């Protein structure tokens, strides 16, 4: 029989053994390495932010992180010392969502370099020495903003880690696809921003870049859930993954998209490859490009992880209470982002000088935030196709060198467009421009509009000089012709002879300089010859000869323009302000026709000054409803021409509606006037909307016809004219498709219905 003493010792030894075993197990668990793996998936991959947020809230340690595509962006920012909340704030900002969706193209437009608005639908950039394939577009979206954001938010952490991704706050890996050799490329060192960018370069959507002499694309093409990379790189004990992607279904013979997807994308292994762990799979219906639903995806990822936390705790009991403390300590050692030098590759020294002056207007050190506006404005520079930024750290100065990889724009640009309508105003448009960049930029261009209603030819040479005070010098010559028919009903009906034909030729020199990225001031001097043909009687026959006025004049103009409108026509956002001062003097020669009471030629000398002002602003009242007020005014010292019709022709017309510019509307012409209007836009989708607008035209001095066919100015504000319009507009990738119903008070047929596709825009008028 066992003695009580021995029995007691046995219990104590057993308890010690069990306790030791438990301690060793806990110690072993505490030493287990946990690797995080983040899939690709576009907008749905925003779920990774919620996933990381939930892990941190529950104290689950993260010893390494591996990501691909959007998972690489989120994982790279996390490894650079940003919390999930920081990442959410950055990647869900309105600007970022618009940028990554490709909807912010006009946000960084440099109006000074992009002043002229034409009727183009398609712009083709051509390298005259290149093969046809090299002139075809390769992508839809230039992520200039994304590139700068990635640099700004990763370069300091990368410098602190000495470009070694193992030395970041959390060791990091990302994957890109080498399409030439059909294999993965794993990044463990180098430029962190460039590695993340290549991993997220979605084919045909995002502009590809070269890294280590290879053209790389989205890592999800060959490996959209890189658990193998995490295993090979970090040898983890546990893998916790977040996956929002899937393998495509088999190609179908009648489905081209499914065939292309299967040709481009290899099947990925979405397993843990034998490792202990768990894969969180948020459930949602968010598609790759549904970036407007990013916050939904974050919530989905967070909730899915919280719901799985018990399963995670069954795998590991580890708790990391010092995660935030380590992050703060890591970020504290990062050097401030002071840039002391600018370098460029892919361009000459002369071109480097142009770009340096465009970016940095002041001497001395600068920060990325200080040049961000100028940098993003490069996207609208006519000489620059693309800029990719890198930066490296100089230990001696404790500052950075900004290194820009420059792709110059192709030297030739051809544009095609115009307007197609149910009215007899159909017009074609074509232009050609040649560009060259050295110390300054040079553009030689010509365009032509051709149609029965409007035809024009313009040629100009533009020299653009960058610097602290940028300057543009543009000599030009333009020929315009407007043919106003007596009948303007339908494209398919015969039209009666024209009752007014406006011909003008002018040549001049314009000098301009920017006052901001969205405004510029200009000075213009020109010589104009305007020679309209017209009839004084409304009932004329083909046997009658027209009257003609020839006006040779010199005109000097000074003006300022501000423009942030989001479309060339049918805008829904932004603001436009124009202020013009002009002085004109010249000689009028009148040649009477068969319907004129005047016999013999008349010559008169004329001189006048005028001020014109216009304002339009789109003010959102809700996500779908937009209000826009409009003002247009003119004050002039111009007195009448030799007859009432000539006076009407030489007075600028109030054109608040798109169709207005295609009509000759004498009641909306006056020496001194004010136009007031307001409109509403109801957005059904980003591209489709309904709009209505109402205007009142107040001529301070109406044009009255005397018995002798001369002009007599009526009383101040003795008449008022109302104009209104409604339209349904769909903005296609080429241009707007619109159905308009308009009302013009004072017309014999005041109601008008017009369907048009394209732009009703013209070259600049001479007067």
Residue 7 to residue 4: CA distance in whole angstroms: 5
Q: Is 610:636 a contact under the CB 8 Å cutoff?
A: yes
Instruction: Give the span between the Cα atoms of 92 and 336, in whole angstroms.
Output: 25
| 73 within 8 A of 196, measured Cβ to Cβ | yes
Give the span between the Cα atoms of 38 and 245, in whole angstroms. 10
DSSP 763: P
Residue pair 4/254 in contact (Cβ under 8 Å)? The answer is no
Burial class (CB within 10 angstroms; exposed 0-12, middle 13-18, buried 19+) of 414: middle
Question: Of 184, 218, 237, 284, which is the active-site residue?
Answer: 218
d(Cα 226, Cα 273) in Å, to the nearest integer? 10
Query: CA-to-CA distance for 747 and 663, rounded, in angstroms?
Result: 10
CB atoms < 10 A from the CB of 692, how many?
14
CA distance 287 to 270: 19
8 Å CB contact between 649 and 731: no
For 72-112, give the DSSP string. HHHHHHHHTT--HHHHHHHHTSHHHHHHHTT--TTTT--GG
Tell me, yes or no, if 218 is annotated catalytic: yes
Q: Which among 27, 46, 28 is positioned nearest to 38, based on CA atoms?
A: 46
Strand runs (DSSP E) across 571-687, as ranges?
574-591, 602-620, 625-636, 673-683
Name the strand (E) or helix (H) holding 450.
strand 441-450
Dihedral Cα 116, 120, 124, 127, nearest 10 deg: -40
Buried-exposed string 727-747: b where 16+ CB fall within 10 A, e elsewhere: bbbebeeebbbbebebebbeb
Residues 673 and 634: their CA atoms lie apart, in Å, by 5
The single residue of 69, 83, 245, 415 carrying the catalytic annotation is: 69
445 is catalytic: no
Scored b (16 or more CB within 10 A) or e, 523-560 reads ebebebbbbbbbbbeeebeeeeebbbbbbebebebebe
Angle, alpha carbons 721-726-730 (nearest 5°): 145
Distance of CA 341 to the CA centre of its chain: 29
Terminal-residue alpha carbon distance, the chain:
124
Rounded to an integer, what is the distance from CA 267 to the centroid of its chain?
34
* CA angle in degrees (0–180, nearest 5) for 226-228-232: 125
Continuous H helices in 570-657: 644-650
Tokens of 306: 């919280």
Going by C-alpha positions, the residue among 189, 155, 164 that lies closest to residue 334 is: 155
User: What is the CB neighbour count within 10 angstroms for residue 315?
Assistant: 18
CB-count exposure of residue 179 (10 Å: 0-12, 13-18, 19+): middle
Alpha-carbon gap, residue 47 to 217, rounded angstroms: 22
CB 258 within 8 A of CB 252: yes
> Rounded distance, CA 629 to CA 607, Å?
34
CA pair distance 317, 551, nearest whole angstrom: 91
Given a contact cutoff of 8 angstroms between Cβ atoms, the answer to whether 766 and 728 are in contact is no
Nearest-angstrom CA–CA distance, 689 and 618: 14
Which residues belong to the active site?
69, 218
């Amino acid at each position: 029989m066992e003695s009580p003493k021995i029995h007691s010792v046995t219990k104590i030894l057993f308890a010690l053994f069990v306790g030791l075993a438990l301690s060793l197990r806990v110690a072993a668990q505490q030493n287990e390495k946990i690797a995080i793996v983040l899939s690709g998936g576009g907008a749905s991959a925003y779920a990774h932010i919620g996933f990381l947020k939930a892990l941190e809230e529950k104290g689950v340690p993260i010893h390494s992180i591996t990501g691909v595509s959007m998972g690489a962006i989120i994982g790279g920012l996390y490894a650079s010392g940003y919390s999930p909340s920081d990442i959410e704030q950055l990647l869900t900002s309105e600007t970022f969502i618009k940028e990554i969706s490709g909807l912010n193209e006009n946000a960084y437009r440099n109006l000074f370099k992009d002043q002229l608005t034409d009727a183009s639908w398609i712009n083709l950039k051509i390298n005259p020495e290149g093969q046809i394939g090299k002139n075809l577009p390769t992508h839809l979206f230039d992520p200039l903003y994304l590139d700068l954001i990635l640099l700004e938010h990763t370069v300091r952490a990368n410098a602190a880690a000495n470009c070694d991704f193992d030395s970041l706050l959390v060791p990091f890996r990302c994957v890109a696809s080498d399409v030439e050799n059909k294999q993965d490329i794993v990044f463990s060192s180098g430029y962190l921003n460039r590695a993340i960018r290549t991993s997220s370069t979605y084919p045909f959507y995002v502009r590809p870049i070269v890294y280590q002499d290879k053209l790389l694309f989205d890592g999800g093409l060959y490996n959209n859930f890189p658990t193998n990379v995490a295993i090979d790189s970090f040898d983890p004990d546990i893998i916790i993954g977040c996956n929002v992607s899937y393998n495509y279904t088999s190609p179908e013979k009648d489905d081209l998209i499914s065939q292309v997807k299967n040709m481009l994308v290899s099947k990925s292994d979405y397993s843990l490859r034998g490792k202990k762990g768990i894969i969180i799979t948020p459930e949602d219906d968010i598609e790759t490009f549904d970036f407007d639903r990013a916050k939904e995806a974050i919530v989905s990822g967070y909730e899915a992880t919280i719901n799985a936390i018990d399963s995670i705790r069954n795998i590991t009991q580890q708790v990391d209470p010092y995660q935030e403390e380590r992050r703060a300590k890591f970020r504290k050692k990062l050097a401030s982002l002071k840039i002391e030098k600018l370098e460029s590759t892919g361009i000459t020294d002369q071109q480097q000088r142009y770009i340096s002056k465009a970016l940095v207007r002041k001497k001395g050190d600068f920060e990325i935030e200080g040049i961000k506006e100028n940098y993003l404005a490069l996207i609208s520079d006519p000489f620059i196709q693309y800029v990719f930024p890198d930066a490296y750290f100089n230990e001696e100065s404790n500052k950075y060198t900004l290194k820009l990889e420059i792709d110059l724009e192709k030297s030739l640009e051809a544009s095609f467009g115009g307007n197609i309508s149910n009215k007899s105003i159909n017009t074609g448009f074509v232009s050609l421009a040649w560009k060259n960049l050295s110390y300054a930029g040079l553009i030689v261009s010509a365009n032509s509009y051709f149609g029965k209603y409007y035809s024009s030819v313009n040629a100009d040479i533009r020299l653009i000089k960058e610097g602290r005070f940028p300057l543009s010098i543009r000599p030009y010559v333009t020929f315009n012709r407007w043919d106003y028919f007596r009948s303007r009903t339908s494209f398919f009906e015969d039209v009666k002879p024209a009752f007014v034909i406006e011909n003008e030729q002018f040549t001049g020199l314009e000098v301009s300089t920017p006052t901001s990225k969205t405004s510029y001031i200009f000075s213009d001097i020109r010589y104009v010859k305007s020679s309209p043909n017209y009839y004084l009687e409304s009932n004329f026959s083909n046997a009658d000869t027209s009257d003609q006025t020839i006006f040779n004049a010199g005109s000097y103009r000074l003006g300022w323009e501000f423009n942030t409108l989001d479309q060339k026509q049918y805008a829904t956002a932004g603001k436009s302000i124009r202020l013009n001062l002009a002085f004109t003097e010249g000689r009028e020669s009148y040649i009477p026709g068969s319907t004129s009471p005047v016999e013999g030629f008349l010559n008169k000398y004329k001189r006048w000054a005028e001020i014109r002002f216009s304002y339009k602003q789109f003010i959102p009242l809700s996500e779908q409803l937009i209000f826009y007020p409009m003002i247009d005014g003119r004050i002039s010292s111009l007195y009448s021409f030799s007859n009432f019709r000539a006076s009407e022709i030489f007075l600028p017309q109030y054109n608040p509606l798109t169709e207005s510019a295609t009509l000759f509307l004498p009641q909306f012409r006056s020496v001194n006037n004010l136009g007031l209007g307001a409109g509403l836009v109801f957005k059904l989708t980003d591209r489709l909307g309904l709009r209505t607008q109402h205007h009142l035209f107040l001529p301070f001095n109406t044009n009255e016809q005397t018995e002798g066919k001369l002009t007599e100015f009526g009383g101040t504000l003795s008449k008022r004219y109302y104009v209104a319009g409604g339209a349904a507009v769909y903005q296609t990738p080429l241009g707007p498709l619109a159905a308009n119903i308009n009302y013009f008070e004072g017309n014999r047929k005041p109601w008008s219905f017009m369907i048009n596709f394209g732009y009703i825009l013209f070259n600049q008028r001479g007067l």
